[in-house]
Structure 1
Amino acid sequence: MKKREKSDRQKPSKQLGKDDVALTDNKMPKKEIKNRENITIQENSRTNTFIKKSRFFLAENKIFFETIAAFSLTLMAVIISWVQLGIAQKQIDLLELQTQIERQQASPQFVVIARQYWNDEKTFAADDKILIYNQGNIAYNIDVDTAVFFKLTYISQAEYKEVLVPINGYYTIHLRTGDATGLVMTLESDSNNLKRWQIQDELGELAKNNGVTINLEVQRYLKLTYRDTFDVEHTQYYFVPLIYGGDLLETAEGEEVFSKKFGIGTEAKYYDLYEVTAQELFNLFP
């Protein structure tokens, strides 16, 4: 047994082949080195082929890409121009707003007031006047027009009606002070408020005798035209109640009111303050 064990230990170890991967001297096998070199060559070849194909593709489609580039540049130029246009428009709007503010500061500021004045005996408010003040900048070529209506309200047990009656001659005298600021004009007429109360009293008696009620209210409107320091013409419309100052109306509303100054429709009719009678007004309610 001992001889056999000794014989086994003396057998030579197996010799490593040249194609084995692991070597005792830690060197890479030549076959693997060659394989890697082949792989590198193939990769370089594919890369070169791709580059050649890419160059060929770009050369073949040169016009297409140049068109895209030109379109992109044009689009960018359009966008930039649009942005610049928006900025310019905002600057224009700002300039217009600034101009409007300057004009507003340099514009006249009118105050319109209706007042009633007592007669010499201090027994009755005989006169109804409109006073026009300018509390702003200088105004030129001031001109006025008035539209006055009797608003009649008819009340009975069966019905309720309102009629707007145009009245001419309520303010026949326009007194200019000659000043561009302060009190610039007074509108009046001879005992117009006294005449109005006489008509109202007579109309009330007629209504009472017929078992109805008729109320009379005076509505005053003013159209004011002037030029400012920029020589721009302006037209303003006012509703002028008693006690309180005149209310500035929208242009469309003012134009509509003055379109009714001489009546409405084909049978348009207005009445003169000093000629109309209470009976005529009562007959407006059949």
Structure 2
Amino acid sequence: MTVRAIDARRAAVLGSPIAHSLSPVLHRAAYRELGLADWSYDRFEVDEESLTGFLDGLGPEWGGLSLTMPLKRAVIPLLDGVTETAASVEAVNTVVFAEDGRRTGDNTDIPGMVAALRERGIEQVDSAAILGAGATASSALAALARICTGEVVAYVRSAERAAEMRQWGERLGVEVRTADWADAAEALRAPLVIATTPAGTTDALAGAVPERPATLFDVLYDPWPTDLAARWSAYGGAVVGGLDLLVHQAVLQVEQMTGRAPAPLDVMRKAGEHALAAR
């Protein structure tokens, strides 16, 4: 049966650049599995300057938006409210539209990280290390606030970044110590290492992976595996990848935007793996 255009529901991912995003692949796979033939999911190149105009032009058919850089903080003043999770890191990656038009921002990266780790049996750690100090690092700290009982050491490149990470730690209730990036090889001996840096940044650390590594969470998914993740796996360590994070946070987005739960995690992961293999 053909669905009338007026009954169609829409969602999309926004960001700049956006052409690389796997979100359409994951969300569309979920819609197919859930039988949501009236839902569509697209991608739009939107920067901070054009965000307000884009949001103001949306009609009542819109159910939600996924946001990537550079919009995760820029969107906050344009919303009617944000969840406690999003407020804790001042970053929104999910916007859900209510029937009355209210816009609510959430952050599914944080529970997505926790869920990805739990899927690999990581329920709690007594210490951890973070490589990097950008927006993803603050989300990693928020995730560690839920599972880490002790100190988190953040390896950064500047005093300014170090101060920011300590401030985030205080805000999130995490004991944070900062160290210079030159000593980042020391991080690899932690029970849990979360790499939040851009592609290529950790390649030089691959040679420093210990003989019996614990768990690495590398947030990258393309290219994959990173040199660090490949060496980690070769030495028998557990590796959680960026696709794991992307899928788990997308599951939560699908559930919030469509009101259907549970979203099909395995189907979405397989769709993502297939799309990456085709690149």
Q: TM-score, length-normalised on structure 2?
A: 0.23
Q: TM-score, length-normalised on structure 1?
A: 0.23
More helix by share: 2
